Structure 1
Amino acid sequence: MADGTRISHIKANIVLYGALFANLGIAIAKFIAAGISGSSSMLSEGVHSLVDSGNQVLLLYGQARAQRPPDNRHPFGYGRELYFWAFVVAILIFAVGAGISIYEGWRHIADPEPLRDPTINYIILAIAFLLEGASWTIAMREFDARRGGQSWWKAVRRSKDPAGFIVLFEDSAALAGLLIAAFGIWLSHRTGDARIDGGASIAIGLILATVAILLAREAKELLIGEAADPALIATIWRIVERHPEISTVNHVRTIHTAPDSVFVAVSADFEDGLKMGDAETLIETIEDELKTASPMISSIYIRPEKHEDAVVQPRSDILP
Structure 2
Amino acid sequence: MDGVNQTTVMEFLLLGLTGQSDQEEVLFGLFLGMFMVTILGNLIIILAIGCDAHLHSPMYFFLANLSTVDISASSVIVPKMLVNHVMGSKSISYTECMVQIYFFITFSNMDGFLLSVMAYDRYVAICHPLHYTMIMRPRLCVLLVSISWVITNLHALLHTVLMVRLTFCSQNAVRHFFCDPYPILKLSCSDTFINDLMVFTVGGVIFLTPFTCIVVSYIYIFSNVLKLQSSRGMKKALSTCGSHLTVVSLFYGAILGIYMHPSSTYSVQDTVATVIFTVVTPMLNPFIYSLRNRDIKGALRKIILRFTSMDLFPQRHNDS
How does the TM-score come out when normalised to structure 2? Answer: 0.32
Judging by fraction of residues, say which structure has more helix. Answer: 2
Judging by fraction of residues, say which structure has more strand. Answer: 1
| Higher RCO structure (Cα 8 Å, ≥6 apart) | 2
How does the TM-score come out when normalised to structure 1? Answer: 0.32
Structure with max Cα Rg: 1
